[in-house]
Amino acid sequence: MEKLLFTEEEFIENYDHEIDLAVEVYGRMSGNGFQNNALCAFDFDFSSDKKEKLQPLGKLLNDDYGFNLSKIRKEGKFWVLEGTSPEQPYNEERLLYWALDLYSKGYQFDCRLTGYGGVIDPHQLDF
C-alpha cells in the first residue's frame, strides 16, 4: 500500500485549525473593508508529493467548480497546483464552507490545501 502524504489522522487533527483559518481570513478581509455578500475571487494552492495526485484534483476543480488553474509545477520536493475561483458572493459562513470543501477535496486526492486568499479593493466592491 502506498504511503499517504496527507493521512486521515492529519486530516482530522487539522480540521479545527482549518475552521480557525477561514474565520481569520474572513476577519482580515472584513477589517480591510470587505462587506458581506460582496463578490470575491480567491487564489488558492494545493501541494502533493506526486504530480499524478494533483492532476485529477485539478480536473475536478476545473470541470465541476469552474476554477482557473495554472500548470502543475515542481517546487522543492513537492508539486504545486495553483488556481483562482470564479467571483462569488461571500460572507463568513460561505467562506468557511468553501475552505472546508477545498480542504476535504484535497484530502480525497492526497493533496494538501496550503493556502488561499482574496484580494479586495474596499472602494470597488461588487455585489
Compute the C-alpha angle 99/58/83, nearest 5°.
60
Per-residue model confidence as pLDDT tens digits over 47-89:
999 999 999 999 999 999 999 999 999 999 999 999 999 999 9
Domain spanning 8-118 has what CATH number?
3.30.70.970
Give me the chain's average pLDDT, please.
95
Per-residue model confidence as pLDDT tens digits over 40-58:
999 999 999 999 999 999 9
Question: What's this model's pTM, rounded to 2 decimal places?
Answer: 0.92
Give the number of other CB atoms < 10 A from CB of residue 14: 16
